Amino acid sequence: ILHRDVKPENCFFRCPGGTLLLGDFGISCDLDEHHLAKTCCGSPLYLSPEMVNQEPYAYASDVWSFGITLYEMAQLVPPFKGANICQVAFRIVSASPAPLDPCFSASLGALLDRLLKKEALLRATLDEALQSEPLAEAAAAVAAQHGLRREPPTGDSSSGLVERLRRTMPSHCQEEYADDFEEDESDYGDDFEEASGSDISYAPDFEADSDDGIDPTPELSEEDLRQQIAAELGEEAMSIAESLGVVNFLETLQRNRR
């Protein structure tokens, strides 16, 4: 299962101090190692670079969101923030997270570096993360509690590399990812959660019921949108944003609103 909306708000305790569970699978999809998803969906602060770049994606996208969540647990703020979605998207694909507070272990910093690689191919897998410090001991205890057997790392990552190459394969090399394996696309609209309890909206597709502090992007023509992006980022950053696919990403969101 590809969750597509891993974030703190979707993590729930059974009871105070009890088991932590991942919930809200409303925009998840079935996926196997031979297929990729293509629908851009989720919550802005937790979108992976490949989603922002509108590339086909797989489990590495959830790993990125997990890394953002883990960073936020430590620092109490997500690593890539901005006044609006334009700034957030630009920072996701181009900026580096601020260093962790010195009170945290070097192993946590090293793990976050592996989880937040911009290139999905270079990102740690979830299995690798759960067998790395500081998560290994807790993950092993949970696996034992549920009778799960985890194979220790062998040091030979060739099979993992093949899997990562497959799941990050360009769209022209991959034929089957048309509907993200959803039986009824209309059930999800554009695969984004509808905003609830808030008047703020990034676009009809984005969640907006959190305290992200991101201003919505008004409905504009594509020319006006480009002018606004240039005003927000500056001409030099605008050129970088175009090369990274951020401008195309925002234009696509704008078209989806019409």
Catalytic residues: 5
Degrees to nearest 5, angle at CA 9 with 106 and 61: 60
Tell me if residue 57 falls in helix, strand or coil.
strand
How many angstroms separate the first and last alpha carbons of the chain?
31
Longest dimension (CA), the chain: 57
95 contact partners, CB below 8 Å, separation of at least 6: 80
Q: In whole angstroms, give the CA distance from residue 192 to residue 196.
A: 12
Pairing of strands 11-13, 20-22: antiparallel
Long-range pairs of 14-21 with CB within 8 A, sequence gap ≥ 24: none
**Burial class, 114, CB count within 10 angstroms (exposed 0-12 / middle 13-18 / buried 19+):** middle
| 157 conformational bin, left if phi > 0, alpha if psi -120 to 50, beta if neither | alpha
Asked if 124 contacts 143 with a C-beta cutoff of 8 angstroms, the reply is no
61 contact partners, CB below 8 Å, separation of at least 6: 2, 4, 37, 48, 50, 51, 120
